[in-house]
Chain A
């Protein structure tokens, strides 16, 4: 079984709809992240959480919110989706160890907003 899972894998929605993307991990890591990937722009950090009680905005948090329901679960919500939020979304986890910290990525969710 995959260590980092994302649901759904693909989603098509309409402008103005609320949508939630979910991420679960079995690696036992405290740190979790949400990124979006757009062609030619690389990955940009949306939100990150260093533990269940810690939520931080990333580079591009406007229009998004998150919830850390448990150590293993980190959800990303689009309260009112708009077409320029069409992108590939990745969840990642890490153990936060200095020098050895490595991020592990889920398979991604492809979101299309019409």
Chain B
């Protein structure tokens, strides 16, 4: 079956630090990959996505590249802000089927 593994948190950084949150996946087919973000007290919202190998998803300064050879989709940001403090979820869906399989989430805490 499908599964997503992401690094455990919390990840604690100072403002303007570089962020990496690791995500690896197992899938029987050729999935689409997503990063969702959950700000405190809110529902999840899509941050970025990639649908095929070597695609790079990007949004709000965050980036992730679909690496089929390493089955990874690591999230990066060059300079985090306090407002980036949230829980980040990596997820996948099989092409043509929109049910999502989520990782357990990684909490990011950014201090001034």
Which of A's residues lie within 8 Å of B, judged by CB? Answer: 4, 31, 33, 40-45, 48, 58, 90, 92, 94, 96, 98-99, 101-108
Seed contacts A48-B99, A99-B32, A106-B43; 13 additional CB < 8 Å A-B pairs: A33-B99, A41-B104, A42-B105, A45-B99, A98-B95, A101-B98, A102-B34, A102-B46, A104-B45, A105-B43, A105-B44, A105-B45, A108-B43
A43 and B102 contact, CB distance less than 8 A? yes
In the bound complex, what is the Cα–Cα distance between A44 and B102 (angstroms)? 7
Among candidates A58, A99, A106, residue contacting B51 with C-beta atoms closer than 8 Å: A99
Residues of B within 8 A of A103 (CB): 44, 46, 98, 100
> Which of under 10, 10 to 19, 20 to 34, or 35 or more describes the interface residues of B?
20 to 34
B100's nearest neighbour on chain A, judged by CB, is: A103
Q: Mark contacts of B64-77 with chain A using CB atoms, 8 A cut-off: 1 yes-contact digit, 0 otherwise.
A: 00000000000000
Please report which residues of chain B, range 39-73, place their CB below 8 angstroms from some CB of chain A when the two chains form the complex: 42-46, 49, 51
In the bound complex, what is the Cα–Cα distance between A58 and B102 (angstroms)? 13
Which of B's residues lie within 8 Å of A, judged by CB? Answer: 32, 34, 36, 42-46, 49, 51, 89, 93, 95-96, 98-100, 102-105
How many pairs of residues, A versus B, come closer than 8 Å at their CB atoms? 50
B98's nearest neighbour on chain A, judged by CB, is: A101
Residues of A within 8 A of B44 (CB): 43, 90, 92, 103, 105
Listed residue (B36, B49, B102) with the most chain A CB atoms within 10 angstroms of its CB: B102
Residues of B within 8 A of A43 (CB): 44, 89, 100, 102
In the bound complex, what is the Cα–Cα distance between A31 and B100 (angstroms)? 12
